[in-house]
A and B are shown apart, each in its own frame.
Chain A
Amino acid sequence: MRLEVKRELSELKRIVAATAAFFAEHGIDARLRNVVDLATEELYVNMVLHNTETTADIRLEMRPLGAGVEVSLTDFDVDRFDPTRFQPVDIDAPAEERTSGGLGLFLVSKMVDAMTYQYRERQSKMTFQVGQD
């Protein structure tokens, strides 16, 4: 599956619909959906909010991988920004000291099986895998 999405949060609805169709088409365990939806949203929103030097669409790709799925998001004509090098979140801190900054990427790192970052010719590509045997 390949989908080009605009840099608008309203596109999340289209991403969720495309993911649901992809899961149905390939018979992928629906229990993986929440993690795939979460990781896809967090990485997509991260690109939209941080890579403001471009107006190009973001490419979303999914392919079956074993019993699970591999998902890639590619952002074009952007500076290097590696989401795998996020600041750790102190989950034991009291509420007064907590902020939501960095929480999305932290959650992704905890919930997916693997996550990689590639940067080449001003293209930033994040890939993650979920539900591998």
Chain B
Amino acid sequence: MFSVDQNDEGVVRLSGRLDAASAREAERVLDEAAGECVIDMTELEYISSAGLGVLLRTHKRLLSDGGIRLVGVSPHIRDIFKYSGFDKLFPIEAA
């Protein structure tokens, strides 16, 4: 089960499993993000390379405005960012 929404402050909240089957749904919302984009991952349980691809494309699109910033990242997902080198691409705050 995956869900994505954007609150009144513009924070995008991801929850559940961001995999190859749900990546398009995440991209649909993140394509609408503008400026520096904060993504709350507190409720995100799982991410695969398909989800990483969505984050990377969003970050590159918004790079001139500050890119994306991730908050509430779990230790497991932080490991994925470390192995992929994504921890060097954008700010990541632990859960």
Q: Which A positions have Cβ atoms within 8 angstroms of B?
A: 9-10, 12-13, 16, 34, 37-38, 41-42, 45, 89-96, 98-100, 103-104, 106-107, 110-111
The smallest C-beta distance from A29 to any residue of chain B, in angstroms, reads: 13
Q: List residues of chain A with CB within 8 A of the CB of B21.
A: 9-10, 12-13
At the interface, is chain A mostly helix, strand, loop or mixed? helix
CB pairs A–B below 8 angstroms (13 shown): A12-B20, A45-B50, A89-B84, A89-B85, A91-B83, A91-B85, A92-B88, A96-B60, A98-B56, A98-B85, A100-B49, A103-B53, A104-B50
Chain A residues whose C-beta falls within 8 Å of the C-beta of B84 in the assembled complex: 89, 91, 103, 106-107
> B88 contacts which chain A residues (CB < 8 A)?
91-92
A95: which of B19, B60, B76 is its contact (CB, 8 Å)?
B60
Number of interface residues of B (CB under 8 A): 24
Question: Would you call B59 and A9 a contact (CB within 8 A)?
Answer: no
Cβ B52 vs Cβ A103 within 8 A: yes
Tell me the complex Cα distance, A99–B90, Å: 15
Q: Is B80 an interface residue (CB 8 A)?
A: yes
Distance between Cα atoms of A103 and B21 in the complex (Å)? 17
Smallest CB separation, A59 vs chain B (Å)? 19
Tell me which residues across on chain B come within 8 A of A34, comparing CB atoms. 46, 76
B34, CB-defined interface residue at 8 Å: no
Residues in chain B near residue A12, CB distance under 8 A? 19-21
0/1 interface trace, chain B 30-63, chain A, CB 8 Å (1 if under): 0000000000000000101110110011011001
Cβ contacts under 8 Å, B52 to chain A: 100, 103
Please give me the 6 A-B residue pairs with the lowest Cβ-Cβ distance, nearest first.
A91-B85, A100-B53, A104-B49, A9-B21, A103-B49, A110-B83
Q: Does B29 contact A (CB under 8 A)?
A: no
**Which residues of A have CB within 8 Å of B19?**
12, 41
- Kindly provide the distance from the CB of B57 to the nearest chain A CB, expressed in whole angstroms: 8
B80–A107 contact, CB under 8 A? yes
> What's the nearest-Cβ distance from chain B to residue A46, in Å?
10
